[in-house]
């Protein structure tokens, strides 16, 4: 299907769909303005409660009676529980007093209420006014372009860089809270939860996924309407989530720990699914790797990792890829083996971090490498014409007239079948830099 022809001569469905999208956009803009006004009103209500409480006894203030009363007044009028209203009042005041630029952006419909609350939530540990203002400016610039979940990932990275305590210090405290729990769900089901190091948890999930995919690859789904008489056939109608859950319980119930502290024994290597090892993409800045800094390490470019764990992984890994980034915006310029075709995939994974369709965060290691301009139409097999796309969005691009164009700064500008344009910006490895000017000879990115 030719996109330009479709837009130039739209059929009735295209016209109706374009009108639907326009109305949805207008509705979201109106909602954002209303949400901003609600936040201002809730913050004003909490200010009145605090002003009244200031003239009362310490005991009365501690019981938050003024807040409860005003929250109940609002809650009964809106048919919302007063405790929920009280929580909203505190979040509103935090946004109004601590993030004025974010509130303005919401009132101007440049971001949604979800974006605004993400900025507030991820910045709570930044108490210094100047630091918080820098955090707000940096994250807002990103929030204008991406979804709320993508904004959260970026906000988390910025907050990590600006936090007064390093991730290593905070991880040493947080790791003491690791635990496992069970919650009954009814119908004979229960939920098993675990809090542990991010690297271990993501590695666990990756290994379960790999094992589940291997099982799906050899299993055959039994036809519903065909009688098959093959005694050695393996029929498996479970989905990936179900297989992962079955594997997790099976391994926990029947498998032993890799190191048994009661005997000192170390489990030998096994074949089959036991030979599948967890994978994780770890980014470690050079200074952190050298022991000169304790910041910047992350899993899949999103989840912070303490420096000690990152350096342990560095020491035990069979190989690492050196990534060269631009000193200002931090976009990937090259890897040390970029020109070899066998390593082009690794370069793209390092550059893209995740699927490059707007809003998608599936890790690059689980994505296809796709030509922005199709090879059959003259597209080249170069980094400037390749991007990581997950199966879902690779199929969407192939089967429907979604057109990506890669810009010089690594952004990918997508044009929808209706002609709407969305831009997926590249990830930034460098968030802050003291020197405002790039060194001589840098490429003009």
370 pairs with which residues across the strands?
387
Helix (H, G, I), strand (E, B) or coil at 404: strand
Q: What is the pLDDT of residue 265?
A: 54
Q: What is the C-alpha to C-alpha distance for residues 330 and 324, in angstroms, rounded to an integer?
A: 9
pLDDT in tens, the chain (445 residues): 344 444 555 688 999 999 999 999 999 999 999 999 999 999 999 999 999 888 877 776 666 788 888 999 999 899 999 899 999 999 999 999 999 999 999 999 999 999 999 999 999 999 999 999 999 999 999 999 999 999 998 999 899 889 988 888 888 888 899 998 888 887 778 888 999 988 888 888 888 888 888 888 876 555 555 555 555 555 678 888 998 998 888 888 777 666 555 555 555 545 566 666 666 677 787 778 778 788 778 776 667 778 888 888 777 777 666 666 655 555 555 555 433 355 677 788 888 888 999 888 888 888 898 988 887 787 777 788 889 999 999 999 988 889 999 998 889 999 998 899 999 988 876 566 444 444 444 443 3
Transcribe 193-229 into DSSP letters.
Answer: EEE--HHHHHHHHHHHHHHHHHHHHH-BPPPSS----
Q: What is the pLDDT of residue 443?
A: 43
Going by C-alpha positions, the residue among 157, 175, 433 that lies closest to residue 298 is 157
Question: Within 13 A of 410's CA, how many CA atoms are on the CB side?
Answer: 24
Q: What is the pLDDT of residue 128?
A: 93
As a dihedral over the C-alpha atoms of residue 91, residue 92, residue 97, residue 102, rounded to 10 degrees, the angle is 100
Q: What phi-psi label fits residue 234: left (phi over 0), alpha (psi between -120 and 50 degrees) or beta?
A: beta
List the Cα angle 408/412/413 in 5-degree steps.
Answer: 105
Helix (H, G, I), strand (E, B) or coil at 137: helix
Sign, CA dihedral 423-426-427-429, equals negative
Where do we find the tokens 């789904």? 221
Q: What is the pLDDT of residue 337?
A: 43
Q: What is the pLDDT of residue 432?
A: 62
The Cβ of residue 231 has, within 10 Å, a number of other Cβ atoms equal to 4
Q: What is the pLDDT of residue 434?
A: 47
Q: What is the pLDDT of residue 43?
A: 96
- pTM here is 0.67
Going by C-alpha positions, the residue among 132, 70, 74, 69 that lies closest to residue 101 is 132
Give, rounded to a whole angstrom, the gap between the first and last alpha carbons of the chain: 34
b/e sequence 385-394, b meaning 16+ C-beta within 10 Å:
bbbbbbeebb
Alpha helices in 255-339 (DSSP H): 286-289, 307-316
């Amino acid at each position: 299907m030719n996109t330009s022809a479709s837009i130039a001569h739209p059929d009735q469905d295209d016209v109706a769909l374009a009108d639907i999208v326009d109305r949805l956009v207008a509705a979201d803009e109106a909602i954002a303005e209303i949400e901003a006004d609600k936040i201002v009103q809730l913050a004003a209500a909490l200010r009145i409660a605090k002003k009244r409480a200031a003239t009362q006894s310490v005991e009365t203030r501690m019981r938050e009676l003024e807040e409860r009363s005003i929250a109940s007044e609002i809650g009964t009028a809106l048919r919302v529980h007063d405790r929920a209203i009280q929580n909203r009042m505190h979040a509103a005041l935090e946004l109004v007093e601590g993030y004025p630029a974010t509130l303005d952006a919401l009132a101007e419909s440049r971001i949604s209420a979800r974006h605004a609350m993400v900025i507030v939530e991820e910045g709570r540990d930044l108490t210094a006014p100047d630091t918080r203002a820098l955090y707000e400016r940096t994250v807002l610039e990103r929030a204008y372009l991406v979804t709320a979940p993508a904004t959260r990932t970026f906000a988390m990275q910025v907050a990590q860089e600006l936090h007064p305590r390093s991730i290593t210090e905070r991880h040493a405290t947080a790791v003491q809270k690791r635990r496992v729990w069970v919650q009954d769900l009814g119908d004979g089901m229960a939920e098993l939860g675990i809090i542990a190091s991010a690297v271990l948890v993501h590695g666990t999930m990756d290994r379960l996924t790999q094992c589940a995919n291997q099982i799906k690859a050899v299993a055959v789904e039994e036809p519903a309407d065909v009688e098959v008489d093959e005694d050695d056939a393996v029929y498996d109608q479970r989905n990936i989530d179900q297989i992962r859950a079955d594997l997790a319980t099976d391994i926990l119930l029947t498998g032993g720990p890799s190191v048994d502290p009661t005997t000192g024994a170390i489990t030998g290597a096994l074949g089959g699914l036991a030979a599948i090892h967890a994978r994780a993409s770890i980014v470690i800045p050079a200074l952190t790797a050298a022991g000169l800094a304790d910041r910047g390490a992350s899993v899949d470019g999103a989840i912070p990792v303490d420096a000690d764990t990152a350096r342990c992984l560095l020491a035990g890994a069979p190989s690492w890829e050196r990534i060269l980034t631009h000193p200002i915006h931090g976009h990937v310029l090259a890897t040390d083996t970029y020109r070899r075709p066998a390593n082009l995939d690794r370069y793209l994974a390092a550059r893209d971090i995740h699927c490059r369709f707007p809003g998608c965060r599936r890790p690059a290691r689980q994505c296809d490498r796709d030509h922005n301009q199709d090879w059959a139409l003259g597209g080249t097999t170069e980094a400037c014409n390749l991007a990581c796309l997950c199966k879902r969005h690779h199929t969407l691009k192939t089967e429907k007239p979604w057109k990506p164009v890669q810009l010089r700064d690594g952004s990918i500008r997508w044009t929808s079948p209706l002609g709407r344009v969305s831009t997926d910006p590249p990830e930034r490895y460098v968030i802050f830099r003291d020197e405002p000017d790039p060194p001589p000879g840098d490429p003009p990115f």
